[in-house]
Amino acid sequence: MKLSNRIQSMQASPVRKLVPIATKVKQQGKKVYHLNIGQPDIETPDVFMKAINDYDTRIIRYSFSQGEPDLIHAIQDYFARDNIHFSDDEILITNGGSEAATFATIATCDPNDEILVPEPFYTNYNGFTGEVNAIIKPITTYAENGFRLPDRKAIEALITPKTKAILFSNPGNPTGAVLTDDEMQMLADIAIDNDLYIISDEVYRGMAFDQLESKSMGSIKGIEDHLILLESVSKRYSACGARIGAIASKNKILMQNILKLCQARLCVATLEQIGAAALYRLPESYTKGIRKEYEKRRNIVHQTVNQINGVVCEKPQGAFYVIIKLPVVDAEHFVIWLLEHFDVNNETIMLAPAEGFYATKGLGKDEVRLAYVLNSEDMQKAMTILKLGLEAYPERLI
């Protein structure tokens, strides 16, 4: 029997493809520091489980398709801190930011329509677009200049009659880049002048370093009908397994139609929504503390890689990722070699080969994405392993 072309053409996760190798070496007794996946080690705030435990009900009923009112109101209050105001019908709760991204793609694209995406990009964007036969058209950025966007002329040259939206994460996964005010305004102007949607993935908002501010695209005036915001509790509140996200837009016709998708899958899990509402009500001091912790880890990574000859790594400005260009021909071979053939005191690391974060064939082959999601002591050990591993790698170029 034949499978659909759609499912067969979808990319398998490049972040998880080497997991069987890591599992095998761990079974052999080697410790592996996982820097390949964005799973924070910071404890989920206690308020999440407390809210669920205090929820007084004898029946776990269906939630509303648009989401629990208490969670919607908590997200409204969260945005209002930055003078961004949404009404009740301008926020829909989703099964994680992933479903929010999928719904945004379904609502804006027909098969073979195009979405402009700065590359390297969150690799699951391939899945969200591939599910509905939309096409990612890359806006290429480079490690050598910190993955800054090209100028407006270069971006508009990529627009065709099939282009429907610009999708990006800010702060960026996998680059750690934070858009400047000028870059945000440029994207807004491009969207307005070319009648495009902006799908702004703000899962890491608030997680910017060096006193930078990661602003929401919702703070830019004049793009309300064009703008779709994607939200999640996964990273900011270290609640990846809760699978609570949201999609927000002041385009009421758009939201009325996305509500049909919410109704088609009935609802998001009730209890997790109750817990997520408590997370969104945490004070700004919580995010500030998390930001300081990740900044400390970022510094460990950057200081170490700067000591390695032949490595290109601009200091990441936010989120908890960095793309590192290595003096190797094939980063995936290097990652496998680290797992299977290298250790320091029977410990090694796992990185994510970066080729799968690009749409342009051949790019990223000599790069890895590193997620600095471990405590500072473990990050220091992991970075020592990376440094010594590169020095010992027999196929190193420099």
Match 């989401």 to its residue by tokens.
67
Is residue 108 within 8 Å of 199, Cβ to Cβ? yes
Q: Where are the beta strands (DSSP E) in 61-217?
A: 91-95, 114-119, 135-140, 163-169, 197-201
Question: What pLDDT is attached to residue 12?
Answer: 76
C-alpha distance from residue 58 to each of 55, 61, 272 (Å):
10, 9, 16
Closest CA to 373 of 394, 397, 349, 338: 349
Residue 194: CB atoms within 10 Å: 14
- Domains of the chain are 5-43+285-392 (3.90.1150.10), 47-282 (3.40.640.10)
Helix, strand, or coil (residue 197)? strand
Q: For the whole model, what pTM was predicted?
A: 0.95
Query: Which residues in the chain show pLDDT less than 50?
Result: none
Is residue 291 within 8 Å of 206, Cβ to Cβ? yes
Cα(261)–Cα(131) distance, integer angstroms = 14
Main-chain phi, psi angles of 104, to 5 degrees: -65, -40
Backbone dihedral region for residue 112 (phi beyond 0: left; psi -120 to 50: alpha; all else: beta)? left
Q: Are strands 91-95 and 31-34 parallel, antiparallel or unpaired?
A: unpaired
State the sign of the Cα–Cα–Cα–Cα dihedral 31, 23, 232, 184: positive
Match 């021909």 to its residue by tokens.
329
Residue type, 378: D
Q: Which two tokens stand for residue 314?
A: 């601009």
Question: What pLDDT is attached to residue 10?
Answer: 80
Main-chain phi, psi angles of 328, to 5 degrees: -135, 160
